Amino acid sequence: MHYEGMIIRPPSEADSILLQVTLGCSHNKCTFCGTFREKRFNIKKDDVIFEDIEFARTHCRRQNRLFICDGDALIVPQRRLVPILERIKERLPWVERVGLYANTKGIGMKTDEELEELASLGVKIAYMGLESGDDQVLKEIRKGADSAKMIKMGRRIKKAGIKLSVTVLLGLAGPDRSMIHARETGRVLSDMDPDFVGALSLMLVPGTELHEQHRNGEFKLLEPTQMLAELGEMIANTHLTQGLFHANHASNYLPIRARLPRDKEKTLELISEALQGKIELKPEFMRAL
Ligand code: SF4
């Protein structure tokens, strides 16, 4: 495979074929994110992508999922993305699900019909970074979209028949705005009604603007118990039709996996017990991004 730079994928794509179609992220401005700082956004050449599909045809016959890297593959014009998906279908017929990262800019550049076309060609899940439902936080972290746009774009993904997985970031508002961030994120999640929610706990990445703001004293991190209280408030305010809310990423202090609304009360009880010290939290040295 012709991988360039660091490759990332969602935890649930750990066993997927990783096909790098773009380099970096076309937005690349979020103050907490250092993932693609070193990469200049680009779309890889078709012949390189097609060679990698041929490589997968020979070497990845046991992997029935494929994830398109890097940042936001939906930014790739439809006239180029469609032939890539058709080639995947033709040469890797055992692949049952194609996934990709999607941001509001990339989704906004596709019509509803184009999104449906991608779904018909195998795109079955899109991962979207909401981070927060609080407009003030979204502005401060330079996410490039407000909560109304997030809701609209998330709903369009679902309407096209693509499963929606949304990531939120605990601790992103600091201690003073923590509960507003929790409640507003719950509001947006409820409105979007994603199939999956993944809550990560903020860890500062050296070289990012947020790391610098922390060093200058402009941004404060949450204590583990504050992070947990924020998670509880977020779950309490999240009303999904039927979605999986998980906070079992390596960055989290307490692993949570809850089917909502079914497991809501049980999960809130678990968080309450942890806040009372009855359940041990993950020690700081064991957290990772
Ligand atoms: S849109 Fe995603 S990948 Fe791009 S800078 Fe923001 S968090 Fe990072």
What mean pLDDT, rounded, does the chain reach?
94
The reply to whether ligand 1 has any atom less than 6 angstroms from the CB of 71 is: yes
| Residue 129 alpha carbon to ligand 1 centre in Å | 8
Average pLDDT over residues 235-251: 90
Q: Is the CB of 32 under 6 A from ligand 1?
A: no
166 and 196 Cβ atoms separated by less than 8 Å = yes
3-state DSSP: the chain helix, strand, coil percent, rounded to 5? 40, 15, 45
How sure is the predictor about 287, in pLDDT bands with cuts at 50, 70 and 90? low
Domain ranges of the chain: 11-279
- Mean pLDDT value of segment 30-43: 90
Question: Ligand 1 within 6 A of 34 CB?
Answer: no
pLDDT at 250 over 90: no
| CATH classification for the domain delimited by 11-279, as one of 3.40.50.40, 3.20.20.70, 3.40.640.10, 3.30.70.20 | 3.20.20.70
When pLDDT is averaged across residues 35-46 and rounded to a whole number, the result is 90
Residue 180, helix vs strand vs coil: helix
Whether ligand 1 lies within 6 angstroms of the CB of 267 is answered as no
Q: Which residue has the tokens 């991004």?
A: 289
Provide the 8-state DSSP code for 11.
Answer: G
Q: Which atom, in ligand 1's list, is nearest to the CA of 129?
A: 2
Q: Is 186 in the pocket of ligand 1 (CB under 6 A)?
A: no
35 lines ligand 1 (CB under 6 A): yes
Q: Average pLDDT in the 237-252 region?
A: 88
Mean pLDDT of the 217-221 span:
96
- The reported pLDDT for the residue numbered 254 is 83
Burial of 275 (0-12, 13-18, 19+ CB in 10 A): middle
Residue 98 main-chain phi, psi, to 5 deg: -110, 135
pLDDT band at 70 (very low <50, low <70, confident <90, very high): very high
Nearest CA to 182 out of 229, 140, 142, 218 is that of: 229
Determine the 3-state secondary structure of 246 from DSSP: strand
Pocket flag, ligand 1, residue 129 (CB < 6 Å) = yes
Distance 153 CA to ligand 1 centre (A): 16
- What are the pLDDT digits (tens) for 125-141? 999 999 999 999 999 99
Each residue's pLDDT tens digit, 137-156: 999 999 999 999 999 999 99
- Residue 266 CA to ligand 1 centre (angstroms): 33
* Ligand 1 atom 1: residue of nearest CA: 27
| Residue 129 phi, psi (nearest 5) | -90, 105
Q: Which helix (DSSP H) or strand (DSSP E) does residue 59 occupy?
A: helix 46-59
List, in sequence order, every residue forming a beta bridge with 101; answer none if it has no partner: 127
Q: Which of 177, 170, 143 is nearest to 245 (CA)?
A: 170
